[in-house]
Chain A
Amino acid sequence: MLQVEGIHTFYGSSHILFGVSLTVSRGEIVCLLGRNGAGKSTTMKSIIGLTPPRQGVIKFKSEDIARAKPYIIARMGIGFVPDDRRVFFDLTVDENLEISERKIAGTDAWNRERVYEFFQPLKHIRSRKAGFLSGGEQQMLTIARALVTNPELLLLDEPTEGLAPIIVDMLEQRILALRDAGLTILLAEQNQKTALGLSDRGYILDNGVIKYHGTIKELQENEEIIRKYLLV
């Protein structure tokens, strides 16, 4: 469903991604692992078009989206959940979802009601300003906000970062439920336990270069790789 082929991404004049390639097939959860500053978020932002790559190809459902504007990419079916929980602080929970909602036909479409059923805690705080939510609630909201755009591929950037273990468990279980509901997920994680527990395949990114790729089982067995690229 998604093919990233040799992308080079820059922030101004600093070169961050060096020929990153990866693929995600329909129905998979693929994780992108790597230390702080490895380039996981930059890869995500390159895909959604916020930091378009200067070189390389990004194909989504066989169309090249590497030069497309973020709103076009989002409308094609990619949902983006950024790493720093960028909810629209000034708006209420419900307004966050209202402006993001893109209605599609079909019974399995994500609308506000379905999202409130999926993330029950949000239902009770729907008229609260997003800026006043707890970290866990904000994270549910950023995922919910991506869901109401009815994406086929969800980019999740460190969804469990800095949250209490009980919330992390809940989110992990919700992410699996999303996959069961038919979504494809690309997950960036520093937390190996989360990433390995959820994903089918994984890529390891280090200093803007893909160093390893394989199934989760292969990755778990390859202690040398883990030591070299993931342990701090």
Chain B
Amino acid sequence: MDFLTTVTSSGLIQQFLVGLSRTTILFVVASGLSLVLGVLRIPNVAHGSLYMLGAFLCYSFATLFGKNPIGFWVAIVMAPLGVALISLAAERGLFCRLYDREHLMLLLFTFALMLLCRDIVKMIWGAEYRSLAPPVVLQGSLSILDLPFPKYNFFLLSIGPFVALALWFLTQRTKIGKIARAAAVDRDMVSAVGINVSWVFASVFVIGCFLAGLGGALVAPTQNIAQGMDHTIIMESFLIVIAGGLGNVWGALLGALIFGLTDSMGILVWPQFSIVFPYAIVVIVLIFRPKGLLRATW
């Protein structure tokens, strides 16, 4: 067990912070997936494609607004809005006709959309990867207990609680949030009191997809923007949502924390094997709580 002794406490904190910033991205994306899953009952496999689209759009907008110091900030706002717009069109044109279909049908349908998105992204941006530098103010590192920690990751860390708070407010305090929570359990009764469930579903779908786009835009400066990023994130998001409790946004937060932290801390414990840790943890969670950690709305 000699590897443990080489881990200093500052290294531990560094990995912890890395894990938390990863958690932010996972939470933003998975909470959107969970929202759509919980309220609309659509297992949206194309959610990861919207994340990829968000990243590519962020790259394009940031390049478009070029050297302008606010270019990046414009991009990080516009990219998820663009994704939201596309999802609104998809909801009104396609999904709103499919709410009553079986889940298997929806799964296949969104899978087809995922393949379609992949080709569209390839047609527009080509097959080679892109990269995007963080804005000047967030370039470089800060040192924490003598170890460097990228400034951009601090920005990510500050976004997480903000998104969580906004989601809490949306679901608990706004009328549409309350209607959405009621519709998640009993959409027939919601319409029988005179509420047009269709527009509630449209809004929730768009909000969920916006979160996918936001996750993609946020992650853009931290990694290569490339084909295949849809793949990884959708697998991770589904695992997080399942482990946290289907349809439960707080479950998504808990799941993202567990997934993100075991991922980064695992490297300290057993580097060669670290990629397996988050998956193993999810399996263990599901063995003991097959319906997820928090109450599922399914």
Which A residues contact B (CB, under 8 angstroms)? 48-50, 69-71, 74-75, 80, 82, 86, 88-91, 95-96, 98-100, 102, 145-146, 149
Q: Total interface residues on B, using CB and 8 Å?
A: 18
Contacts of B191 in A (CB 8 A): 50, 69-71, 74
A149 to B192, CA, bound (A): 10
Contacts of B184 in A (CB 8 A): 90
Asked if residues A100 and B178 are in contact (CB atoms below 8 Å), the reply is no
Contacts of B93 in A (CB 8 A): none
Contacts of A100 in B (CB 8 A): 193-195
Asked if residues B189 and A99 are in contact (CB atoms below 8 Å), the reply is no
A48 to B194, CA, bound (A): 10
Within 8 A of A (CB), among B174-198: 175, 178-179, 181-182, 184-186, 188-197
Q: Smallest CB–CB gap between A31 and chain B, Å?
A: 21
A70: which of B182, B186, B192 is its contact (CB, 8 Å)? B192
Known: A71-B195, A82-B192, A88-B186. 15 other contacts (CB 8 A): A50-B188, A50-B191, A70-B192, A71-B191, A71-B192, A89-B185, A90-B182, A90-B184, A90-B185, A98-B175, A98-B178, A99-B175, A100-B195, A149-B193, A149-B194
A91: which of B181, B195, B197 is its contact (CB, 8 Å)? B181
Asked if residues B192 and A50 are in contact (CB atoms below 8 Å), the reply is yes
Asked if residues A48 and B182 are in contact (CB atoms below 8 Å), the reply is no
Q: Smallest CB–CB gap between B223 and chain A, Å?
A: 37
Please name 23 pairs of A and B residues whose Cβ atoms are closer than 8 Å in the assembled complex, sorted by A.
A49-B192, A70-B192, A71-B192, A71-B196, A74-B191, A74-B192, A80-B193, A86-B189, A88-B186, A88-B190, A90-B181, A90-B182, A96-B182, A98-B175, A99-B178, A99-B179, A99-B182, A99-B190, A99-B193, A99-B195, A100-B194, A102-B194, A149-B194
With A50-B188, A86-B186 known as contacts, the answer to whether A95 contacts B194 (CB < 8 A) is no
Contacts of B195 in A (CB 8 A): 71, 99-100
Question: Which 7 interchain pairs have the tightest Cβ spacing?
Answer: A74-B194, A88-B182, A100-B193, A70-B191, A71-B191, A80-B192, A75-B194
Per DSSP, chain B at the interface is helix
Asked if residues A71 and B194 are in contact (CB atoms below 8 Å), the reply is yes
A135 to B193, CA, bound (A): 20
Q: Smallest CB–CB gap between A143 and chain B, Å?
A: 12
Contacts of A74 in B (CB 8 A): 191-194
A77 closest partner in B (C-beta): B194
Contacts of B186 in A (CB 8 A): 86, 88
Q: Smallest CB–CB gap between B174 and chain A, Å?
A: 11
Contacts of A75 in B (CB 8 A): 194
A146 to B194, CA, bound (A): 10
A88: which of B175, B189, B197 is its contact (CB, 8 Å)? B189
B196 closest partner in A (C-beta): A71
A96 to B178, CA, bound (A): 9
Asked if residues A95 and B193 are in contact (CB atoms below 8 Å), the reply is no
Q: Smallest CB–CB gap between A48 and chain B, Å?
A: 5
A48 to B193, CA, bound (A): 10
Contacts of B188 in A (CB 8 A): 50, 70, 86
A90 closest partner in B (C-beta): B181
Q: Smallest CB–CB gap between B37 and chain A, Å?
A: 16
With A88-B186, A91-B181 known as contacts, the answer to whether A146 contacts B193 (CB < 8 A) is yes
A97 closest partner in B (C-beta): B193
Q: Smallest CB–CB gap between A38 and chain B, Å?
A: 21
A86 to B192, CA, bound (A): 11
A89 to B190, CA, bound (A): 12
Most buried by A among B175, B182, B195: B182
B184 closest partner in A (C-beta): A90
Contacts of A102 in B (CB 8 A): 194
A82: which of B178, B189, B196 is its contact (CB, 8 Å)? B189
B197: which of A71, A95, A145 is its contact (CB, 8 Å)? A71
A95 closest partner in B (C-beta): B178
B181: which of A69, A88, A149 is its contact (CB, 8 Å)? A88
B194 closest partner in A (C-beta): A74
